[in-house]
Homo-oligomer: A and B are copies of this chain.
Amino acid sequence: MVSGETPLADVRVLLVDDHPVVRAGLRAMLTEFEGISITAEAADGKAALKELSRLAVLGDAVDVVLMDLQMGAGMDGVAATAAIRKLAAPPPVLILTTYDTDADILAAVEAGASGYMLKDAPPEQIRQAVFAAAAGETVLAPKAAALLMNRITNPGTSLTPREVQLLELLATGLSNRAIAKQVFISEATVKTHLVHIYGKLGVDNRTAAIAAATQRRIIRPPGQAG
Q: Report A's interface with B, CB cutoff 8 A.
A: 18-29, 72, 96, 98-99, 101, 119-123, 126, 170-175, 203, 205-212, 214-216, 221-225
Contact B20 A26 (CB under 8 A): no
Q: CB within 8 A of A172: which of B96, B126, B211, B225?
A: B211
Q: CB within 8 A of A72: which of B25, B120, B170, B224?
A: B120
Q: CB within 8 A of A207: which of B24, B72, B99, B206?
A: B206
Q: Which residue of B lies closest to A121 (CB)?
A: B20
Contact B25 A173 (CB under 8 A): no
Contact B21 A207 (CB under 8 A): no
Contact B24 A28 (CB under 8 A): yes
Contacts of A210 in B (CB 8 A): 171, 173, 207, 210, 222
Contact B22 A21 (CB under 8 A): yes
* A4 to B19 alpha-carbon distance, docked (Å): 27
Contact A21 B221 (CB under 8 A): no
A-B CB contact pairs (8 Å), 19 listed:
A19-B98, A19-B119, A20-B121, A21-B29, A21-B120, A21-B123, A21-B126, A22-B22, A24-B29, A25-B27, A171-B207, A173-B212, A174-B207, A174-B208, A175-B205, A211-B223, A214-B223, A221-B221, A221-B222
Contacts of A206 in B (CB 8 A): 207
Q: CB within 8 A of A20: which of B21, B23, B123, B211?
A: B123
Contact A20 B173 (CB under 8 A): no
* A174 to B96 alpha-carbon distance, docked (Å): 32
